Amino acid sequence: MNWDWQVVDTFMPRFWDGVLITLQALGWGTLIAFTLGLVWAIAQRSGPACVRIPVTAITEFIRNTPLLVQLFFLFTVVPEWGPTMSPLTTGVVGLGLHYSTYTAEVYRAGIEGVPVGQWEAATALSLSRRHTWTAVILPQAIRRVVPALGNYVVAMLKDSPQIYVIGALDMLGEAQAYSQETFTTEALTVVGVAFIVIAFPASLLLRVLERRLVR
CB-based contact 109:175 (threshold 8 Å): no
C-alpha 182/C-alpha 163 separation (Å) is 22
Helix (H) / strand (E) containing 204 = helix 186-214
Cα 146 to Cα 40, 46, 59, 100, 154: the distances in Å are: 17, 22, 21, 14, 13
Q: Would you state the pLDDT for residue 215?
A: 61
Of 35 and 132, which is predicted with more confidence? Answer: 35
Architecture of domain 5-214: Orthogonal Bundle (1.10)
Q: Is 127 helix (H, G, I), strand (E, B) or coil?
A: coil
Contact of 108 with 63, CB cutoff 8 Å:
no
| Size of the chain in residues | 215
Give the mean model confidence (pLDDT) for residues 82-92.
91
Q: Using CA atoms, how far apart are residues 169 and 14, in angstroms rounded to an integer?
A: 9
Q: Give the DSSP letter of residue 174.
A: H
| Angle in degrees, 0-180, between the axes of helices 5-46 and 186-214, rounded to the nearest 10 | 40
Please write the tens of the pLDDT for every residue from 101-155. Answer: 999 999 998 888 888 888 888 888 888 888 888 888 888 888 888 888 888 999 9
Mean pLDDT score, 81-91:
90
In whole angstroms, give the CA distance from residue 149 to residue 71: 22
pLDDT of 174 higher than 60: yes
- Average pLDDT of the chain to the nearest whole number: 89
Q: Is the pLDDT of residue 214 over 70?
A: no
The model's confidence at residue 87, banded by pLDDT at 50, 70 and 90, is very high
C-beta of residue 31 within 8 angstroms of C-beta of residue 96: yes
pLDDT given at position 213: 66
Question: Mean pLDDT across the stretch 157-176?
Answer: 92
Closest CA to 15 of 186, 159, 205: 186
- Mean pLDDT along residues 81-100: 92
Q: What's the pTM?
A: 0.87
Distances (CA, A) of 9 to 5, 138, 185, 193: 6, 49, 13, 15
Q: Residue 184, SS3?
A: coil
pLDDT band at 9 (very low <50, low <70, confident <90, very high): very high
Q: Give the CA angle between residues 115, 118, 121 to the nearest 5°.
A: 145
Give yes or no for a contact between 146 and 209, defined as CB atoms under 8 angstroms apart: yes
Given a cut of 70, whether residue 1 has pLDDT beyond it is no
Question: Which spans in 47-133 are helix H?
Answer: 49-63, 67-72, 78-81, 87-112, 116-124, 129-131
d(CA 91, CA 7): 29
Rounded mean pLDDT, 186-209: 87
